[in-house]
Amino acid sequence: MSTQTEIAHFMGGLRKRNPHETEFHQAVKEVVTSVMPWYLDHEDYRKAQILERITEPDRIITFRVSWETDDGDIRANRAWRVQFNHSLGPYKGGLRFHPSVTQSVLKFLGFEQIFKNSLTGLPMGGAKGGSNFNPKGKSPREVMRFCQSMMTELHRHIGEDVDVPAGDIGVGAREISFLFGQYMRLENRWSGVLTGKGCSFGGSAVRTEATGYGCVYFCEHMLNQHNEQISDKVISISGSGNVALYAAEKAIDKNAKVVTLSDSGGFVHIKDGLTHQQLHYVKDLKENRRGRISEFAKEFGGVEYHHNARPWGIKCDVAMPCATQNELGTEDAKSLIDSGVIAVCEGANMPLTAEAAHLLEQHGVLHAPGKASNAGGVAVSGLEQSQNAMRISWTRDEVDSRLQSIIADIHARCVEYGHHEGRVNYVNGANIAGFKKVADAMLAYGVV
């Protein structure tokens, strides 16, 4: 059978075993497409059915979360923890609170997390969890009651050597603190069971900034590898959450010009480039006041708000999608190509549709997949676990320098496995490098 036929055959079986899980199919197809030629050359992996086993989660825990609104009404949400693969270390991966969360979304995220964590070189397995709970419009007390109820079930399934959740969309420092408080109440002990904690109670310096900073560090390596510099590049960023805002901060520090930010309502075009003063305003707006990005445009001249639109029509050198999955489709990719984009560096997980990714590749646009370029967050989470285990705290400089060296290593691995005719296919490089390490471990463990 040809490689293409093998991929089609494998994907047919996977779709049959996991009907209707479209996001999961998309994530698996991307990885399988990269690794299949290499996999077919290795009979030992094939005999051990590594591909079939690695695409089946170790377990999925599904549970009900009941909670009470401020008015005394009862609500019930659904929550999951997908413990995908712990061949390389305790399960590790964020929790997402968003109405769009389904089992398929969490399986795609958990699957991606296996290879991302492998790429960091730290001992971490892959997992993801969350709930279809919508934190928007809820009071802090309601969010607290939800988090406490969720942890009342989740605590049985996690632990510092078992599974260590962190934040993701809708789960920031506030939610992690509520979850951690309830875990301690139930278990009566302090442990590094969650990462992304406040710095005064076991959190790591630079964890908040790590995903966004790491994305810019990766982007700089990718540009340098192809004889380009990051300074003076025009960068279009989507989102205005944790990843987007710290990517913007580091990009400004590197003298790049950030021209867009967005939220689910629309995007802002900052014609002269975002300043530190404006960024400070947006951080306060989003982190403290939980406001909308449209308010930013009202506050500053030269900032235009585009309702219900995505930022990809704005001319840029580098696009950094930092909001959510499949937020950049074929038409967006065409606009970016027409405007001369040279690189797309993913801050979010799987922000490109498969068709958009294919189009960029055909036009020679550099494309860093999230599992490589947004691995900075989980890398510093891994460092937070190490600090908790040793009961010490590293300085900001120490953590930042470790983060930079982990990102440099991930970039080098992508180059090693993705180098092709003077350029680097980062998608193939990241997938093969991440996959190989987990496959080797699974092979060594025998049939488990």
Question: Which one of 103, 324, 335, 425 is in contact with ligand NDP (CB under 6 A)?
Answer: 324
Under rule CB under 6 A, which residues in 325-344 are in contact with ligand NDP?
327
Q: Which residue has the tokens 């001992």?
A: 123
236 binds ligand NDP (CB under 6 A): no
Binding to ligand NDP by CB under 6 A, coded x per residue (else -) over 192-211, reads -------------------x
User: Taking the complex as a whole, how short is the minimal distance between the CB of residue 152 and ligand NDP, in angstroms?
Assistant: 24
Q: Which residue is nearest to ligand NDP (CB)?
A: 241
Phi–psi pair at 420, nearest 5 degrees = -155, 115
Under rule CB under 6 A, which residues in 346-375 are in contact with ligand NDP?
347-349, 374
Helices (H), 121-206: 140-154, 173-187
User: Taking the complex as a whole, how short is the minimal distance between the CB of residue 110 and ligand NDP, in angstroms?
Assistant: 11
Name the residue nearer to ligand NDP (CB basis): 374 or 442: 374
CA 152 centroid distance within chain: 26
Question: Which one of 235, 320, 323, 357 is in contact with ligand NDP (CB under 6 A)?
Answer: 323
User: Taking the complex as a whole, how short is the minimal distance between the CB of residue 135 and ligand NDP, in angstroms?
Assistant: 9
**Contact (Cβ atoms closer than 8 angstroms) between residue 239 and residue 323:** yes
In whole angstroms, give the CA distance from residue 177 to residue 182: 9
User: Taking the complex as a whole, how short is the minimal distance between the CB of residue 175 and ligand NDP, in angstroms?
Assistant: 10
Cβ partners under 8 Å of residue 246, min gap 6: 208, 209, 210, 211, 212, 213
430 binds ligand NDP (CB under 6 A): no
**In the beta sheet, which residues pair with residue 234?**
257
311 binds ligand NDP (CB under 6 A): no
In whole angstroms, give the CA distance from residue 388 to residue 104: 32
Name the residue nearer to ligand NDP (CB basis): 85 or 195: 195
Name the residue nearer to ligand NDP (CB basis): 215 or 222: 215
Under rule CB under 6 A, which residues in 133-192 are in contact with ligand NDP?
167-170
219 binds ligand NDP (CB under 6 A): no
Q: Which residue has the tokens 């377990």?
A: 59
**In the beta sheet, which residues pair with residue 261?**
268
Q: Which amino acid is at 245?
A: L
Has 286 been annotated as catalytic? Answer: no
**Contact (Cβ atoms closer than 8 angstroms) between residue 367 and residue 344:** yes
275-283 long-range CB contacts below 8 Å, 24 or more apart? 276/249, 276/252, 278/303, 279/245, 279/248, 279/249, 279/252, 282/240, 282/245, 283/245
Name the residue nearer to ligand NDP (CB basis): 23 or 220: 23
239 binds ligand NDP (CB under 6 A): yes
In whole angstroms, give the CA distance from residue 358 to residue 366: 11
129 binds ligand NDP (CB under 6 A): no
Name the residue nearer to ligand NDP (CB basis): 336 or 380: 380
Sign of CA dihedral 104, 212, 219, 318: positive
**In the beta sheet, which residues pair with residue 83?**
59, 127
263 binds ligand NDP (CB under 6 A): yes
Question: Which one of 33, 182, 204, 242 is in contact with ligand NDP (CB under 6 A)?
Answer: 242
Residue of 107, 116, 128, 138 marked active site: 128
User: Taking the complex as a whole, how short is the minimal distance between the CB of residue 214 and ligand NDP, in angstroms?
Assistant: 9
Positions touching ligand NDP (CB under 6 A) are: 167-170, 211, 239-244, 263-265, 322-324, 327, 347-349, 374, 377
Task: Give the residue numbers marked as catalytic.
Answer: 128
